[in-house]
């Protein structure tokens, strides 16, 4: 049973979930090569649409995502990857999770606290 | 702060997570209209790419998804929606979650048990 990369021009969404807390940390996209690299290395690797290249999460920051378990859905076109996150957070804005904004009424409100200084880690890069 | 629907021709991914257990139940896509309908009704509504129309999850089966909390990410182009699921499962194949297959070695193995008979609920329809 092979993954179906056909739905979005060779990409499929991968939901990254903390293996311990169950929190959704981020959602990225993988092409076939990113998928193979994720399996070969044991570190979550995406395809960056903005940079048009493979992107091992945490390659520059050290905040890599160690693959613990991988699930796929009934259509075999989406992944859920449970990880141990190395480092205090996955978000380049300094938060544990990229999903740090919650809808309250009509407003998106930041409901998390920053876990680290993104400028110190990324120096302006992601 | 408005959601960014531009990345996939007017669609963005929405991760549906059980509000109690934290399990990822399914991932669907929303266009602007599906997003508005989700907020107006309080039930998760997707845009079905295969059927080219709005799709309130559970409209035919009764297994609707009651919105409890909504989060967006740093790029404002992805949603995490925490829900109370009405009914025993969200997957049209009869499982609690669409992510019922786990990678073991090189094989996708069904690691869940069916929660209901999908033919009885859907009668061949989703």
Residues A114-123: what's their mean pLDDT?
A: 87
* Residue A78 CB contacts under 8 Å (≥ 6 apart), including other chains: A12, A13, A14, A15, A72, B27, B98, B99
pTM value > 0.90:
yes
Contact indicator for B24, A99 with CB cutoff of 8 Å:
no
Please give the Cα distance from B30 to B25 (Å, whole number): 16
* Angstroms from B82 CA to nearest CA on chain A: 11
Summarize pLDDT for A77-116 with one digit per residue, the tens.
Answer: 999 999 999 999 999 999 999 999 999 999 999 999 999 9
Contacts of B7 in chain A (CB under 8 A): 49
Q: A12-122 falls under which CATH superfamily? A: Phosphoribosyl-AMP cyclohydrolase (3.10.20.810)
The length of chain B in residues reads 126
Q: What is the pLDDT of residue A3?
A: 97
Contacts of A22 in chain B (CB under 8 A): 21-23
Q: Is B15 on the interface with A (CB under 8 A)?
A: yes
Alpha carbon separation from B115 to A23, A79, B97, B126 (Å, rounded) = 24, 21, 10, 16
Q: How confident is the model at residue A16 (pLDDT cuts 50, 70, 90)?
A: very high
Contact indicator for B89, B80 with CB cutoff of 8 Å:
no
Using DSSP's 3-state secondary structure scheme, residue A27 falls into: strand
Q: What is the pLDDT of residue A12?
A: 96
Q: What is the mean pLDDT of chain B?
A: 94
Rg (CA), chain B: 15
Contact indicator for A71, A64 with CB cutoff of 8 Å:
no
List the domain boundaries for chain B.
Answer: 12-122
Cβ–Cβ below 8 Å for A102 and B71: yes
What is the H or E stretch that residue A56 is in? Answer: strand A53-56
Q: What is the pLDDT along chain B (126 residues), one digit of tens a residue?
A: 799 999 888 999 999 999 999 999 999 999 999 999 999 999 999 999 889 999 999 998 899 999 999 999 999 999 999 999 999 999 999 999 999 999 999 999 999 999 999 988 877 554
Contacts of A13 in chain B (CB under 8 A): 13, 27
Q: Is A8 on the interface with B (CB under 8 A)?
A: yes
Contacts of A42 in chain B (CB under 8 A): none
Summarize pLDDT for A38-64 with one digit per residue, the tens.
Answer: 999 999 999 998 899 999 999 988 999
Contact indicator for A79, A30 with CB cutoff of 8 Å:
yes
The sign of the dihedral angle between the CA atoms of A34, B21, B118, B124 is negative
Identify the closest residue of chain A to B91 by CA–CA distance.
A74
**Tell me, what's the ipTM?**
0.94
């Amino acid at each position: 049973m092979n993954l179906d990369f056909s739905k979005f021009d060779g990409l499929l969404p991968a939901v990254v979930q903390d293996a311990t807390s169950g929190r959704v940390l981020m959602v990225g996209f993988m092409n076939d090569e990113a998928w193979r690299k994720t399996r070969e290395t044991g570190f979550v690797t995406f395809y960056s649409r903005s940079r048009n290249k493979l992107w091992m999460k945490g390659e520059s920051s050290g905040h890599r995502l160690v693959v613990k378990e991988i699930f796929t859905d009934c259509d075999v076109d989406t992944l859920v990857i449970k990880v141990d996150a190395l480092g205090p957070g996955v978000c380049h804005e300094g938060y544990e999770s990229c999903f740090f904004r919650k809808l309250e009424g009509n407003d998106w409100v930041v409901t998390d606290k920053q876990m680290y200084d993104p400028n110190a880690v990324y120096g302006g890069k992601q």
